[in-house]
Structure formats: C-alpha cells, structure tokens
Amino acid sequence: MDLGIKGKVAVITGAGRGIGRACAVSLAKEGVHLGLNELDTESGKQAVEEVKALGVDAILVPGDISKEEDVIELFKKTYERFGHIDILINNAGISPKLPFYEITAEMFDKVINVNLKSNFMCSKEAFKYMKDNGWGRIVSLSSLAGVMGGIKSAAHYSASKAGIIGITKTLAKQVGQYNITVNCVAPGRIDTAMTRMLPESVQAELVAQIPLKRFGQVEEVAKVITFLASDGGSYITGTCVEIFGGYTG
C-alpha cells in the first residue's frame, strides 16, 4: 500500500531507540527523508545508519529539545539539508517512577519541560515550515498514563502525557485551515528498554491485565504513527489513538 509520503521530510525527536527508532525505520521504508534528534549521539548515529541503508537520506541533530535553542537548531539544520519539513513526530520523553509525595518541584519541572514543553516548542517550530507548504502532519506520543492516570507511572509523567492530549486537540482546531493534521497516540504496555527494566513479577502482572496477553511491540506503534503521518490519515485530526491491546483499566 502506497501511503503517498515518498519524498516527504520528517523530524523525529528521541529517535535513537525504542518507539522513536521504530518510527524512523517505518517512515524510511515509505521513502521519507529524516532529520533525527537524539540526546545520546551514539544511538542517534546508529539510527541514521539504519535508515540510510533503507535508501533515504538522514541527518542527526543532537540536542536537548527541552531547550528552545536546540529545537530551533534541529529544524534549521533539517530545512537546510532538505529544503522542506512536512512531518513532525514528537517522541522524546522521560519516565521516572516514584510516588508523587517524593517528587520535588525540580523533578516535576524537568519532566514537564522534556515531555510537554518540548512538544509545544517543536510543534510551534514545525508549523512555521508546514504553513507555507500547505501540508503537514504532527503526531505526538501520549501514554496510557495520560489517558487513565498512572499506577506504575509517576504523577508528573502522567500530567505531561495528559497535557499532550490537550495540546493535540487544541492545535488541530487552530492549524487545520492550513491542511495540517495534529494527532497523538497513547501506547499502553510496550516492550521497550524501560519496560524490560521492571522485575519479571511486575511484567507478568501487567501482561495478565491485557486481553491480548502480551506487551505491544514498538513496530506496532510505529505503524499507527506512520499511517497518521500519511495521506491515508488526511481526514483524521484532533484524535488520540489508544494502543492498549484491549486494556480498559
């Protein structure tokens, strides 16, 4: 199935591993060129090599996307390389796990800055380029914790992911006139490095709550994101797609 995005250019934050890396590979398979952001330079370089092997061009722009100057640099360098920016995948995030009464104001600010403020800044920067194109796709990563509240996830993480849903719905209303769609996905229990760090007993407990009786794979999330970023998702906007494996809380 041709998704109609060959030759488009996507910016992906946190593209070095997990869902971000899977998105880079999925979009590369559709012929999308990539401006990849990653704080860890080594994993970012590996992602660039992997997608280039699929026949597309890609650059790595290392940086901390909670800092406005790094966000501006990411988009500036991507535009200089490719001449247009069409797709933004807001993926970067952190997920510390601790009880809410142990969260300091400094910890709270850090999670909000990395997960939510960066989403706002990247979306704002992307809009500058997409508006002139008359075409754009913004897809952000929310979470099960943002939809239902966190049990294992911490309060500041849940708040940041709920905020992403709010930003998504608001931006969709405000930028639709420019043929830009804005959506988010909310993955549930996905097999990532962070999930594998949990004790086996906790992992088994979580799997038991999922009707499909398994964790999701990063590739399964990436396929949904790729569809939302394509011509196939042209009339989907302001939506949060839940990828929970049937879990209803």
Catalytic residue among 79, 101, 157, 235: 157
Instruction: Compute the distance between CA of residue 244 and CA of residue 249 in angstroms, rounded to an integer.
Output: 10
Structure tokens at 10: 């996507």
For residue 25, the surrounding DSSP H or E stretch is: helix 18-29
Active site residue 157: yes
Instruction: Compute the distance between CA of residue 18 and CA of residue 153 in angstroms, rounded to an integer.
Output: 18
The residue count of the chain comes to: 249
Instruction: Compute the distance between CA of residue 210 and CA of residue 17 in angstroms, rounded to an integer.
Output: 24
The identity of residue 74, as a single letter, is L
Is the distance from CB of 59 to CB of 78 less than 8 angstroms? yes
Instruction: Compute the distance between CA of residue 33 and CA of residue 196 in angstroms, rounded to an integer.
Output: 31
Query: What are 214-218's contacts with CB under 8 Å, separation 24+?
Result: 214/245, 215/189, 215/190, 215/191, 215/245, 216/187, 216/188, 216/189, 216/190, 216/191, 216/243, 216/245, 217/190, 217/191, 218/18, 218/19, 218/21, 218/22, 218/190, 218/191, 218/192
The residues annotated as belonging to the active site are 157
